[in-house]
């Protein structure tokens, strides 16, 4: 097992120390579930962005793992992770990084699993990370979501998993149905907003 996996060693993989990581380390890390999604972030400073994805997988009851690996600071470990992910049962990888965000592309270069890239807003409003992730050369695609778009990355991952899992398909479908209800409710509320020249 690589050094960056397992509940006792997970903290070693995190670069730096943030409040979010301290919170994470206090929670019980479940070892009896086998992850099918891997969330990789370039640094624990990206964790606040990735929390939306984690919450979505909790809601969908999809087992996932979270680790920090950096294409620049731990290049060897990134390659090992990417090469071994499929063999460990991972089906989709979500990779997030800011600045010169090579992480999703380097992972995609070392696996045939689908990789979803999340550009993290750090410098330049996240445009630097977005262009680094989206502009992959032909042959090595990374499905890139918007800046800080971790929730969309998680929904897209669930949609991929839903192709082969009717339970996940039903949950994703219910989630999307709920989004419709939100707009229906918003329109009912807008009906109660009055202006002199508003006709509906």
Count residues near ligand AIR (CB under 6 A): 17
User: Which regions of the chain does DSSP assign to beta strands (E)?
Assistant: 37-41, 64-68, 92-98, 115-120, 143-144
| Positions in 98-157 near ligand AIR (CB under 6 A) | 98-101, 120, 122
- Give the binding range for ligand AIR (CB under 6 A) out of 40-48, 56-64, 82-90, 134-142: 40-48
Q: Among residues 62 and 145, whose Cβ is nearest to ligand AIR? A: 145
Q: Which is nearer to ligand AIR, 11 or 45 (CB)?
A: 45
Nearest residue to 113 (alpha-carbon basis) of 92, 87, 143, 134: 92
Q: HSE, CB side, 13 Å, CA atoms: give it for residue 111.
A: 30
CB count within 10 Å of CB 124 equals: 12
Judged by CB, which is closer to ligand AIR: 38, or 70? 70
| Least separation in angstroms between CB 39 and ligand AIR | 12
**Closest CB to ligand AIR among 101 and 155?**
101
User: Which residue in the shown chain puts its C-beta closest to ligand AIR?
Assistant: 42
Q: What angle do CA 148, 94, 59 make, to 5 degrees?
A: 80
Q: Looking only at residues 14 through 33 of this chain, which bind ligand AIR when binding is defined by CB under 6 A?
A: 15-16
Min separation Cβ 147 and ligand AIR, Å: 11
175 CB burial (10 A radius; 0-12, 13-18, 19+): middle
Specify the residue, 93 or 162, whose C-beta has the smaller distance to ligand AIR: 93
Enumerate long-range contacts of 143-146, CB under 8 Å, 24 or more apart: 143/114, 143/115, 143/116, 143/117, 144/104, 144/116, 144/117, 144/118, 144/119, 145/116, 145/117, 145/118, 145/119, 146/119
The distance from CA 140 to its chain's CA centroid, rounded to whole angstroms, is: 19
Smallest separation (angstroms) from ligand AIR to the CB of 17: 10
Q: 100 or 169: whose CB is closer to ligand AIR?
A: 100
- The pattern of x and - marking residues 62 through 101 that bind ligand AIR according to CB under 6 A reads --------xxxx-----------------------xxxxx
**Which residues make up the interface to ligand AIR (CB under 6 A)?**
15-16, 42-43, 45-46, 70-73, 97-101, 120, 122
């Amino acid at each position: 097992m690589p050094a960056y996996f397992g509940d006792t060693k997970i903290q070693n993989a995190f670069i730096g120390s943030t409040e979010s990581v301290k919170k994470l380390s206090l929670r019980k890390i479940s070892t009896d579930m086998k992850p099918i999604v891997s969330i990789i972030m370039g640094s624990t400073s990206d964790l606040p962005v990735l929390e939306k994805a984690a919450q979505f997988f909790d809601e969908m009851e999809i087992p996932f793992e979270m680790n920090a690996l950096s294409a620049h600071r731990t290049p060897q470990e990134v390659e090992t992770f990417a090469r071994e992910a499929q063999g460990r049962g991972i089906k989709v990888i979500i990779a997030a990084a800011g600045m010169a965000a090579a992480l999703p592309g380097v992972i995609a270069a070392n696996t045939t699993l689908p990789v979803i890239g999340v550009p993290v807003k750090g410098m330049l409003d996240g445009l630097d990370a977005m262009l680094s992730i989206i502009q992959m050369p032909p042959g090595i695609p990374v499905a890139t979501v918007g800046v800080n778009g971790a929730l969309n990355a998680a929904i897209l991952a669930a949609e991929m998993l839903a192709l082969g899992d009717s339970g996940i398909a039903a949950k994703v479908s219910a989630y999307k149905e709920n989004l419709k209800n939100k707009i229906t409710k918003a329109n009912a509320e807008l009906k109660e907003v009055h202006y002199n020249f508003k006709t509906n």
